[in-house]
Amino acid sequence: MSAYLYYPGCSMEASALAYHESLMAICEPLGLNLDEIEDWNCCGATEYVGVSTTPAYALICRNLALAKEQAKGTDTVVAPCSACYLNLAKANYYMRERPSLGEKVNAALAAGGLHYEPDSLIIRHLLDVIINDIGLDTVKSKVVRPLTGLRVAPYLGCMVPRPDYQKRWSDHEHPNELDRLLRALGAQVIDFPLKTHCCGGHMTQIGPATAFELIRRLIASAQQHQADLMATVCPMCQMNIDAYQAETNRHFRTNYRMPILFFTQLMGLAFGLDPKRLGFGREFVNAQPALSRIGVEVPTNEAEQKPPRIPGRRDKNLPMPRMPGEEEN
Amino acid sequence: MSDVVAQGLDPSNPNLRFLEEVSRRTAGVSRLEMCIQCGTCGGSCPSSADMDHTPRMLFAMIRAGMREEALQSNTPWICVSCYHCVVRCPQDVHIADVMYTLKSMAIHAKLYRDSTPPHFSQTFVDMVEKYGRSYEFGLATRHYLKHFPLRLPGMAPMGLGMLTRKRIELKPRRIRGIQQLHAILERAKEVEENE
Ligand code: SF4
Ligand code: SF4
């Protein structure tokens, strides 16, 4: 059993519930022991750092301070979410690179009776731990239902391979870790040129046109390479490409139906686990047609079979509501 | 803004220290002063087409002390934190973090022109400060009602889909140590102000 401190992050409890469920299901076969940090808080995503610096880093570091107190026999924190992983890793790194930041953060933490010594923990992403600690040999040995014939686009997004403070990834722009893992599951992995391109991040919320174009590029490229589905390591990427695919289609008058699953769901399938435990049916773009190609039945969401009719189409000429910057807040 | 060239020539102009200020406020070592204006960042940027200025131009403006113009630029708000420029920059400038700094400075100085992105960030932060966790339902309803009411009808099936798939929770989760978190954030804000 390899034991790690575990920082789930907010998405795992809701929007990425399928990631959580499938991860919990594969822990046992992988011999992965995740010790959840008690009473962890949100990492601030990509929002708090854009509002004010010291509070944003203090928010992140409360988690690190709690993790350090809880640590028994390991100094490694694992995060499944890309943004959480980067925030934790960044705080760890910058507090040492710029000691004045470390002092300010610790002055703040002291108000809550906490302290964190920069770099006293190691922050790693779940995929890194599975590839480099558990290893592909172990993964392969657990495969009882290989995904033979399933064409998968490996999609990492931005914040796992970049900026990569600890130089853990094989490449910043074309890393091969996810490809190797999916191949170990028996899948046919396409050479996906946009594997570390952006999913639009929070732009789906604040600048949809910018986001839709980024989403469109990814789906179009995956489709062009005849992928049956995309596999992701990130809750935000999954959400944007999956839940916003319909809106993206409306925006461009396209008709893409590209499913995107968490890599842990595919691992669970290949390990022969009951699909009911793997979060299937939570995706908006139904993955069943793709999985039928390899003879796998998974639970689906009924609503997905008959997409509700959307009343009227968004008028492209309607202006976005804008407010004068001075007005408030 | 008045004549920028004349401003730039005035040695008493505090904006000449703008570069220093941006650098100081950035979390790590920004290395912004090391920028050689090569343009690799703009050429790597997936969303530069929607930006008022490419990152390179923005950094030239910062160096030229064009404080207001730089803080009014939509560039930091369009930046999606993809870190493509960061790993390609020959000078290791912490570009994405500089963008965060510029956003926070624009909020502080109320110089942003489109209120949608800063309100979204602030609403997110409000939720986190209140509960210690993000609260997507509260965030989405507040945000869309205020900024994208016209998008709501089209979004309704998705919202419903999120609910039926149990991908959004109606009630927020609050951490046990919320008092502790409040104390930490209060102190952090004091430290930030006294900078
Ligand atoms: S890539 Fe780096 S050095 Fe080149 S213009 Fe951009 S910030 Fe400056
Ligand atoms: S981090 Fe921001 S500025 Fe840099 S390439 Fe990505 S979107 Fe552009």
Query: What single DSSP character describes residue A310?
Result: P
Q: What CATH number did the domain enclosing A213 receive?
A: 3.40.50.11810
pLDDT at position A99: 96
Q: Running along chain A, 329 residues long, what does each successive block of 10 average in pLDDT?
A: 91 94 98 97 93 96 98 95 97 96 98 97 98 98 97 97 96 97 98 96 90 96 98 97 95 97 98 96 95 91 52 42 37
Average pLDDT score over chain B = 89
Residues B165-181 have pLDDT tens digits of: 889 888 888 999 999 99
Residue B105 sits in the same domain as residue B131: no
B181/A321 Cβ within 8 A: no
The DSSP element (H or E) to which A154 belongs, if any, is strand A151-155
Measured CA distances, A297 to A2, A142, A305 (Å): 32, 20, 15
Q: Are residues A57 and A119 in the same domain?
A: yes
- Does residue B24 sit in the same domain as residue B96? yes
**How far apart, in whole angstroms, are the C-alpha atoms of residue A209 and residue A250?**
12
Residue A243 sits in the same domain as residue A196: yes
The DSSP call for residue A11 is: G
The residue out of B84, B112, B140 marking a domain boundary is: B112
Pick the last residue of a domain from B112, B132, B165. Answer: B112
What is the CATH classification number for the domain harbouring A44?
Answer: 1.20.1050.140
B123 and B182 within one domain:
yes
CA distance A162 to chain B (A): 6
pLDDT of residue A161: 96
**A251 shares a domain with A152:** yes
Tally of domains within chain A: 2
From B52, B80, B112, the end of a domain falls on B112
CA distance B8 to B66: 8
Structural domain harbouring B168: 115-195
The CATH number of the domain holding residue B53 is: 1.10.1060
Residues A159 and A280 grouped into a single domain: yes
Q: Looking at residue A1, what is its pLDDT?
A: 64
Would the CB atoms of A164 and B157 count as touching at under 8 Å?
Answer: no
Tell whether A11 and A100 lie within a shared domain.
yes
Q: What does the pLDDT read at residue A328? A: 34
Q: What is the pLDDT tens value at each position of chain B, 195 positions in all?
A: 444 455 555 666 777 789 999 999 999 999 999 999 999 999 999 999 999 999 999 999 999 999 999 999 999 999 999 999 999 999 999 999 999 999 999 999 999 999 898 998 998 899 999 999 988 887 887 877 888 888 878 778 888 888 888 898 888 889 999 999 999 999 999 999 887
In a domain, A155, yes or no: yes
Cα–Cα distance for residue pair A141/A184, rounded to 1 Å: 9
- In the block, tokens 């870790």 appear at A177
Q: Are A290 and A200 in a shared domain?
A: yes
B89, B40 contact by CB (below 8 A): yes
Q: What is the pTM of this model?
A: 0.91
Q: Is residue A280 part of a domain?
A: yes
Distance (Å, rounded) from C-alpha A163 to C-alpha A24? 28
Query: Same domain for B103 and B31?
Result: yes
Kind and range of the H or E run holding A4: strand A2-6
Closest Cα to atom 8 of ligand 1:
B35
Contact B187 A164 (CB under 8 A): no
Is residue A171 located within the same domain as residue A238?
Answer: yes
* Residue A195, min C-alpha distance to chain B (Å): 12
- What pLDDT score was predicted for residue B11? 67
In a shared domain, residues A153 and A109 = no
Q: Model ipTM?
A: 0.90
| Residue B11 and residue B68 in one domain | yes
- Are A120 and A164 found together in one domain? no
| Number of domains making up chain B | 2
- Residue A27's domain comprises 2-125
Cα(A126)–Cα(A104) distance, integer angstroms: 30
Q: Which protein residue's CA is at the shortest distance from atom 4 of ligand 2?
A: B85
Same domain assignment for residues B173 and B149: yes
